[in-house]
Amino acid sequence: MGILEKMRLDGKVAFVTGGARGIGKSIATALAESGSHVAIVDMDIAEAQKTATEIASLGVKTIAIKTDVTNEEDVNKMMDTILATFGKLDIACCNAGICINEAADTMTYAQFKKVIDVNLNGVFLTSQAAAKVMIKQGKGSIINTASMSGHIVNVPQPQCAYNASKAAVIMLTKSMAVEFAKTGVRVNSISPGYIGTDLVLEAENLKALIPQWNALSPIGRLGRPDELQAIAVYLAGDTSDFTTGSDFLIDGGFSSF
């Protein structure tokens, strides 16, 4: 069997949080194109259902689940729905996240807690729920979305809460990977750089920053959501069985200097 055949995900089951749009949607699409069934998990259930319908056209089974990743009861219900529908879970993409651009001296504590709750606590709850299932199965891959912001301090926009949350996701990933290493469950993270999602391209406050970001980037442009697909498929499949506890920077060289 060749490497491309080995990278197929036929018959596997995945969930992607924040899967309705942007990076999450792109990863969910790639998993489905590789043969995996996919649960699209998002707070925006209408958009999640739309995405699930699009992905179902690829010939896999998809469902949309409305879930608040910061709510433990909601996450447990999500897992119950996935297991009732598919009977197992092979791939967990814990991708949901938010960013509030506010200076550290003016950010409210409520704003800070909201970012940490979604970006860190949400990743913990969803990856923990996935791990409980995968450990019983003896195999599984958890892929957490971190960020180059877990490695650098972004400029010119202030985003201390986001940076702190993503750095914590990277260490959470490594810690879980070590704890689960002998169970057959692997845990890795992907750290994207600036990606040209609709959110970035359409938000006036972010669009104005793109020229500055591009000027600081060795490659001179934003990344595309589809440029994160290959690493997600690799980490989801059996060819990455020896890969755990790793963080993959996909940032066009932005954080290399």
Catalytic annotation, residues: 147, 162, 166
Q: Do the Cβ atoms of 190 and 250 come closer than 8 Å?
A: yes
- Whether the upstream peptide bond of residue 156 has omega within 30° of 0, thus cis, is yes
